[in-house]
Chains A and B, each alone.
Chain A
């Protein structure tokens, strides 16, 4: 696909995405919002794992950090949503860097295990600091002032939540809350995707891929390998926290059960399924993952985890480049056929290394 076709497609998708909330039911709009938060978090994971080769099985924790930060700041301190989001992003960056520093000394399977530990630890930390986090009950925003069982809230000491409005559409927009929320998410997601696209196509982006494929070559060329890896970890965590902000805003509540290892796996599946080292990959992956979860009845959601696990294994074996990788392979084949078998062996651009699918270009 040449650049012009890509941009045309991009605009077309945007227009469709902008129109659907005007005609679709609230449930559909919220589902689209869900795709967007999964996509932004998976984008962060794609940057880290797909482009830079650092694996993380713990991104659900960064997402949870973003969601809890948002919820606590807005509910307990009356901080506006936008400001809470900025704090969440900055905090996740710092924590991401703190995790990224020891990650310099451990790689591959060991890094996978350490981040897996992070994912399992997060819900426990939340419960441990119950006075701030609401413990295993979690925290919630009430959609309208005065709504809810105030007596019950008094009893569990969450009285102060009362009177906190959720993320409401400003009157001037004339939009319903779910529509407004989706449009805000859409803008955030577009900005996030464009910024990451800039980064991956730049001098720094080449450095990240070089580190992934050949750290020595990168270092000898002058890439500050350690700094790049740590900053990427921070940025990746920040993107997950943006997803977490969106999660809190969409669901009006957070609880430790939302940010278990299952979420980390879901994000990884979304990133890998779409194509880990690509920009549109996480969006496609998020759409597929949310659709799978939607297709599974609510009372057997455990099954969707099994399905994700199976999908992950199959993708790794059959199409390590994910949907985007498959597309590239097919496109390259067609082009070669079109060129009358000219020996332009572009199919090799889809690497077969599972963690390193072909890079987006």
Chain B
């Protein structure tokens, strides 16, 4: 059964066609990699799913829900969480608070409750404990109270991952999680993603240039070029697809 269905999505920026009738679907529980040369439109698709970009055409269904009817802030509440290609942390908050932000959609308490303090306090403790546990699981317990600014890049990437997990997502979207990591870190990250998927029973949409990792952990690979899908299948068949080989050799990446 498919969890997410991308159906003929098109996105234009002025004259640039970033997505051109893109269609594919992700099965519940799989790790699906979305690959393609720079500028293929991978991040644009993430932004469409996050409802940050309005597509000019197409449909987007998630667990039977029409995503395009919803505002951006409602997406997290459906169990869709993501990381960003260029980090999007909150430097004014500590690391643990950044992770707690990830739980915003599944905690409650509006202005009144939070100002009065009483009802919010219990949830607050629970959310903080959850966040600390996630940080601990990713080896980040030591920096929990550190400001989210001024930490090493690899650490920041893991904090983003923790923040996405704090949402307890059903669909986790990772935009180039391995970029800027050392070789050892990449291997470790691949294992982590697999473990997370198994432990938390979630579905992963992975955008990644690191082919070793893509082929190592994903069960489904979608290849894009110029906003279009050029291949879709299991890793080994996609890797042998002449169009894919051509796309990668053709752009030199």
A interface vs B, CB < 8 Å?
A: 195-196, 198-199, 202-207, 209-210, 212-214, 216-225, 231, 235, 277, 344-346, 348-349, 351, 356, 358-359, 361
In chain B, what residue has the closest Cβ to A207? Answer: B104
Q: Is the CB of B114 within 8 A of A203?
A: yes
- The answer on a CB contact under 8 Å between A345 and B150 is yes
Contact of A219 among B52, B93, B97 (CB under 8 A): B52
Given A203-B120, A210-B93, A351 and B104 touching (CB < 8 A)? no
Q: Which residues of A contact B163 (CB under 8 A)?
A: 221
List of B residues within 8 angstroms of A203 by Cβ: 100, 104, 107-109, 114, 120, 123-124, 127
Q: Inside 8 A of B101's CB, which chain A residues have their CB? A: 206-207, 210, 217-218, 221, 223
Query: Which residue of chain B has its CB nearest to the CB of A223?
Result: B104
Q: Chain B 36-56, CB within 8 Å of chain A: the 1/0 string?
A: 000000000000001010000
Bound complex: CA A199 to CA B118 (Å): 11
Distance (Å) between the CB of B104 and the closest chain A CB? 5
Indicate which residue in A195, A206, A345 contacts B146 across the interface (CB closer than 8 Å).
A345
Please name 18 pairs of A and B residues whose Cβ atoms are closer than 8 Å in the assembled complex, sorted by A: A195-B115, A195-B116, A195-B117, A198-B116, A199-B114, A199-B115, A203-B109, A204-B109, A205-B114, A206-B101, A207-B101, A210-B101, A213-B93, A214-B90, A220-B88, A221-B105, A221-B167, A222-B73
**B184 interface residue per 8 A CB criterion:** no
In the assembled complex, B82 has its CB within 8 A of some CB on chain A: yes
Minimal beta-carbon separation of B214 from chain A (angstroms) = 24
Residues of B within 8 A of A (CB): 50, 52, 72-77, 81-82, 84, 88-94, 97, 100-102, 104-105, 107-111, 114-117, 120, 123-124, 127, 146-147, 149-150, 163, 167
Further pairs besides A222-B77, A359-B92: 7, Cβ < 8 Å: A198-B114, A203-B127, A207-B101, A220-B82, A220-B88, A224-B73, A277-B92
CA distance A239 to B1 in the complex (A): 53
Nearest-neighbor residue (CB-CB) of A356 within chain B: B92
The answer on a CB contact under 8 Å between B147 and A346 is yes
Residue on B with the closest CB to A232? B111
Number of A-B residue pairs with CB-CB distance less than 8 Å in the complex they form: 122
CB-based nearest A residue for B118 = A198
The answer to whether A219 and B73 have CB atoms under 8 Å apart is yes
- The smallest C-beta distance from A308 to any residue of chain B, in angstroms, reads 26
Q: B115: which A residues are within 8 A, CB to CB?
A: 195-196, 198-199, 202
Residues of B within 8 A of A210 (CB): 90, 93, 101
What is the chain B residue whose CB lies nearest that of A204?
Answer: B114
| CB–CB A344/B91 < 8 A | no
The answer to whether A222 and B147 have CB atoms under 8 Å apart is no
Q: Are A221 and B76 in contact (CB under 8 A)?
A: yes
A97 CB, nearest partner CB in chain B, Å: 12
Q: Are A206 and B104 in contact (CB under 8 A)?
A: yes
Give the distance to chain B from A354, nearest Cβ to Cβ, in Å: 13
A220-B93 contact in complex given A202-B117, A346-B146, C-beta closer than 8 Å? no
- Kindly identify which residue among B104, B117, B123 contacts A222, using a CB–CB cutoff of 8 Å: B104
- Residues from chain B with Cβ under 8 Å of A223 in the complex: 73, 101, 104
What is the bound-complex CA distance between A217 and B109, given in angstroms? 19
Selected contact of A220 from candidates B75, B123, B147, CB within 8 Å: B75
Q: Chain A's nearest CB lies how many Å from the CB of B154?
A: 16
CA of A344 to CA of B95 in the docked complex: distance in angstroms?
13
| Chain B: minimal CB distance from A332 (Å) | 10
User: Are B146 and A358 closer than 8 Å at their CB atoms?
Assistant: no
B74 to chain A, nearest CB (A): 7
Q: Is the CB of A220 within 8 A of B90?
A: no
Contact A202 B124 (CB under 8 A): yes
- If the complex has contacts A202-B120, A222-B77, A351-B149, are A217 and B88 also in contact, measured as CB distance less than 8 A? yes
Give the chain B neighbours of A346 by CB distance below 8 A.
146-147
Query: B93: which A residues are within 8 A, CB to CB?
Result: 206, 209-210, 213, 359
Within 8 Å by CB of A202, from B73, B82, B114, lies: B114
- On whether the beta carbons of B111 and A235 are closer than 8 Å, the reply is yes
Question: Bound complex: CA of A348 vs CA of B93, how far in Å?
Answer: 11
The distance in angstroms between the C-alpha atoms of A205 and B115, with both chains bound, is 9
Measured CA separation A223–B100 after assembly (Å) = 12
Most-contacted residue by chain A among B114, B120, B123, B150 (CB, 10 A): B114
